[in-house]
Amino acid sequence: MSDVRLIEIKEDILSDNAGLAEELRRRLREKKTFLLNLMSSPGSGKTSLILRTIEKLRDEFSIGVLEADIDSMVDAEKVASRGVQAVQLKTGGFCHLDAAMVRTGLDAFDLDGLDLVIIENVGNLVCPAEFDTGSTKNAMILSVPEGDDKPLKYPLMFSVCHALVVNKVDYLGLSDFSMELLRERVKKLNPDISLFEASCKTGQGIDGWTDWLAGEMRKHLK
């Protein structure tokens, strides 16, 4: 007989986080603030998409950005340079955000003055998908150079997202990336996901993404 006690830490952590995430969602509904959790691998174009989104929606909605990085304030400084409120969270080695971290970041904003807060989650296709941040909607970016096989390797990420932006489509002619194959793989995992083809570099397809986001926000803000 063993005297060692086994504690399932991950299950307990996820359970506690789920309760806090729901509490955060209730608070955001009361404030009529839409919280978008944007996830992707490093270098896929999260900051670029956020800047494009700000450019398209800032005349209609007041926007804040919650940046998360293991270190550095580079992305938050880019956002702030556009005249948008930005809060930087340094995760100190954590490869994801959870609801408690997001709550800490949101406390630095005046939510009464914000319609939309965008979370730029830590660049990672694994851990961020496991933790509910309390967001209204989840979105992710997959860039063409990453390949069309990522839904096979990281199915949870594609399953928990309401929208997928395929970025850097201007590289399609230089790769063997198959949009048709990607769509088939993603829809098999998540039939209800909205998929957008875009290039943050050229601006191609950005309107489709921002129209979707604005539509979801209007529903939330009613």
Q: What is the pLDDT of residues 124-174, one digit of tens each?
A: 999 999 999 999 999 999 999 999 999 999 999 999 999 999 999 999 999
pTM: 0.91
What domains lie within the chain, and their CATH numbers? 31-221 (3.40.50.300)
pLDDT of residue 88: 87
Bridge partners of 66, per DSSP, are: 87, 119
pLDDT of residue 135: 97
DSSP 179: H
Please report which confidence band the pLDDT of residue 1 belongs to, taking 50, 70 and 90 as the band edges.
Answer: very low
Strand (E) positions, 91-217? 116-120, 137-143, 163-167, 194-197
| Mean pLDDT in residue range 31-51 | 96
pLDDT at 78 over 60: yes
pLDDT at 5 over 90: no
